Structure 1
Amino acid sequence: MRYFSFYILQCLILSILVISCASCESDNQETNNNTDNDSIEFYFGSDLSYVNEMEDCGAVYKDQSGVEKEVYSIFKQEGTNLVRLRLWHNPDWTDYSNYSDVKKAIQRAKNSNMKVLLDFHYSDTWADPSRQLIPEAWLSELNNTEALGELLYNYTYNTLNELSQENLLPEIVQVGNEINTMILQEDETNGPIDWQRNSYLINKGIKAIRDISELKNKPIEIMLHIAQPENGLWWFEQATTNGITDFDWIGLSYYPLWSEYELDEVQVPLETLINTYNKKLMIVETAYPFTLNNADSANNILGEEALTGDFPASEQGQLDYLNQLYIIIKDAGGQGLVYWEPAWVSTNCFTQWAQGSHWDNATLFDNSGKATLGIKFYNKALNN
């Protein structure tokens, strides 16, 4: 009996040691993850918001060798270290880019050991420089800035809190998408920005992210996103003058087609933004056509007029454009480049406007689903 008691005591001590070691391993793993996050000098990103829908529509993705693979693993193997995902508030016209869909996408990114940039559109549909439409559920508070701020704060806070409960917190969060004009508007008018209203609302979103970050003891960086560098110059000047200063990243869309700056000119405004505001900078949207052919009845958005410099509409031209833009961003002091919707391939499904994809000639997959040469851009991440 005495021997048995001693044996039980030994087992208890051993169990405690095992649990303690497991805890230490968990702590070390958390520390290592944080260190890994801090060690990323440049983000090589892919906006994969369309992937879940495309797969449901029958899309198949293949690597450079023509082997069919899970699409997140293709990007990871090439060197992608950041996945960007858009989130609409209550898009009753689609089953995608809502909370459920985004949660699934974040899980896929985490499973592939990639960081996540979550893009709050603060709308039920596409938010862009020409429209920042308020969610239908918030419309009654359109002219009540304080109440609207509380809705925005609570939505942002609760969304991130729910993601946290499933270990899905993103590493970077955008407060709005291409917010060149005033956020949370009733229509598509682009009048002067009411900065008292605009700064109050944006700062409420920022505060929600900071509060969750503190509560969960997890660093979450904040990004403000403007379309085209020339608009970033005036927007950030006005924003900081009006009290919007607590953010980490300047995010920009850069498509030469819609910018005042050609590719060989864009380094100057990037440097100006970085040096003026002492913030990190990332191009969070860009793309380049690998062909001018159209695969379906959905007209291509990027046609011949989208070509720039000496880069033709070819797979090599696509890769060369990305390589050159990467060099420009790095030389300017920037720290990231995200390709917008590289997997929005042509399928039998419909957009809001037509059957197929409006981006099928500017993805990083050809019309057979095989990765283009452009995807080799991400290899730089493996060599850094």
Structure 2
Amino acid sequence: MKNCFYTYILVSLLLLLGVSSCETSERAEETGKESFAKGADISWLPQMEESGYIFYNDDGVPEDCFKILKDHGINSIRLRTWVNPSDDPHSGHCSKEETVEMAKRAKEWGMSVMINFHYSDSWADPGKQNKPKDWEGLNFDELKQALYDYTYDVMDALKKSEITPEWVQIGNEIPSGMIHPEGHTDNWSQLVELINAGYDAVKTVSNTSKVILHIDQGNNNDRFRWWFDNAENYGAKYDIIGMSFYPWWLEGKPDYTEVIEDLAYNMNDMVSRYGKGIMVVEVGGEDIKPVNTYNMLRAVIQKTKEVPDNKGLGVFYWEPQGARSWSKYALSAWGDNGKPTKAMDAFID
């Protein structure tokens, strides 16, 4: 009742100021939009659908994956994009065209969009940051221009489809840099030039989109201080610090309870040290331990929401729908029965 009253007051004030009823309705809707992102990277979805995989809701009824995710509290979608990907079902797709189509679907479901530029033809992560084949042989200035042009092209394609990404990642899990060897952290000045070329391209097309720089091991404060101290010292331009949090991938595979306070400390320290917002842009737990993964997600969401000054901006599960029976991936939140596991309930308020 209180929210309805406040919306009524807002609408009345806007009408007094001469704002049309249509504009009033849109603005009132925006005031009720949830600011905390509860997200999922579902970049595998087109391949899964193409292969005939059927998604079932909690009642065992076939349903659009977007609908199932939305019913579990997901309000934001993250999409990776590769420069010239193959058509391999697990290590391909994610072209500009496919990314735009997925973003359009997300918008139709009322979800915010994050675009994740890998700047590669396939996976980029801490173990590999391979240069796109078409960029091989370019000198450094040409490489910067290629990165700028590609980033601009994808952003412009989204804009032409009336998609404005809320967030854009420049690189994916880049503790060693990106686009090796030129963008390696062995040469911070060059890496930052590449980062800033991507930032400038994003802002030229969409100045409201927030740019994220993304590092793995969100519980590792030394790693983050070293990386972002250097990024700051060399003049990197960005808006948000992004982190991955996968206890399963850490040495010794600790339970989340052993490292959750380290994650919380690091998030708070990053915000205090650099004054930026923070997001857990990738998280995941074992599909065969759905209750443990549920508890982990609830803890990560809570710790992120507790970051001071509302600078904890959101949490994204990586490929929750990527069932092991299709992907062979052990950290989805989907069961062999084609239904979401208990883990997905963590995003429901």
TM interval, short-chain normalised: 0.7 to 0.9
* 1:269-310 deviation per Cα after TM superposition (whole angstroms, max 9, x unaligned): 11111111111111111111131xxxxxxxxxxxxxxxxxxx
Q: Which of 118, 143, 165 is the matching residue for 1:121? A: 118
SS in 2 for 1:174: strand
Q: Match for residue 254 of structure 1?
A: 245
Identity %: 30
SS in 2 for 1:234: helix
Give distance in 2, aligned partners of 1:343 and 1:59: 11
1:365: how far off?
Answer: 1.7
Task: Read off the aligned partner of 1:212 and give its amino acid letter.
Answer: V
SS in 2 for 1:288: coil
Give distance in 1, aligned partners of 2:123 and 2:77: 19
Change (3 A) 1:31 1:49: same
1:17-96 superposed matches below 5 A = 27-28=23-24, 31=27, 35=31, 39-94=33-88, 96=93
Q: Match for residue 134 of structure 2?
A: 137
1:186: how far off?
Answer: 5.1
Give distance in 2, aligned partners of 1:93 and 1:165: 25
Change (3 A) 1:262 1:54: same
Q: Match for residue 158 of structure 2?
A: 163
Asked whether the equivalents of residues 175 and 224 of structure 1 are also in contact (C-alpha less than 8 Å), the reply is yes
Give distance in 2, aligned partners of 1:145 and 1:45: 35
SS in 2 for 1:89: coil
Q: Which of 256, 267, 282 is the matching residue for 2:264? A: 267
2:316 aligned with 1:338, yes or no? yes
Give distance in 1, aligned partners of 2:328 and 2:181: 27
Q: Match for residue 309 of structure 1?
A: none
1:92: how far off?
Answer: 2.7
Give distance in 2, aligned partners of 1:221 and 1:52: 26
When Rg is computed on C-alpha atoms for both structures, the one with the higher figure is 1
SS in 1 for 2:347: helix
2:228 aligned with 1:228, yes or no? no
Extract unaligned runs of 5+ from structure 2: 1-18, 252-257
Q: Match for residue 180 of structure 1?
A: 175
1:259: how far off?
Answer: 4.2
SS in 1 for 2:168: strand
Change (3 A) 1:196 1:177: same
Asked whether the equivalents of residues 249 and 281 of structure 1 are also in contact (C-alpha less than 8 Å), the reply is yes
Asked whether the equivalents of residues 56 and 63 of structure 2 are also in contact (C-alpha less than 8 Å), the reply is yes
1:258: how far off?
Answer: 3.6
Asked whether the equivalents of residues 270 and 329 of structure 1 are also in contact (C-alpha less than 8 Å), the reply is yes
1:46: how far off?
Answer: 0.6
What is the TM-score when the length of structure 2 is the normalising length? 0.84
Q: Which of 189, 195, 198 is the matching residue for 2:188? A: 195
1:377: how far off?
Answer: 1.1
Q: Match for residue 327 of structure 2?
A: 357
Give distance in 1, aligned partners of 2:150 and 2:142: 12
Extract unaligned runs of 5+ from structure 1: 1-22, 292-312, 348-355
1:60: how far off?
Answer: 1.2
Asked whether the equivalents of residues 228 and 253 of structure 1 are also in contact (C-alpha less than 8 Å), the reply is yes
What is the TM-score when the length of structure 1 is the normalising length? 0.77
* 1:207-248 deviation per Cα after TM superposition (whole angstroms, max 9, x unaligned): 11111124xxxx21111111112232211111001101x322
2:109 aligned with 1:112, yes or no? yes
Cα RMSD after superposing both structures: 2.2
User: Number of matched residues?
Assistant: 316
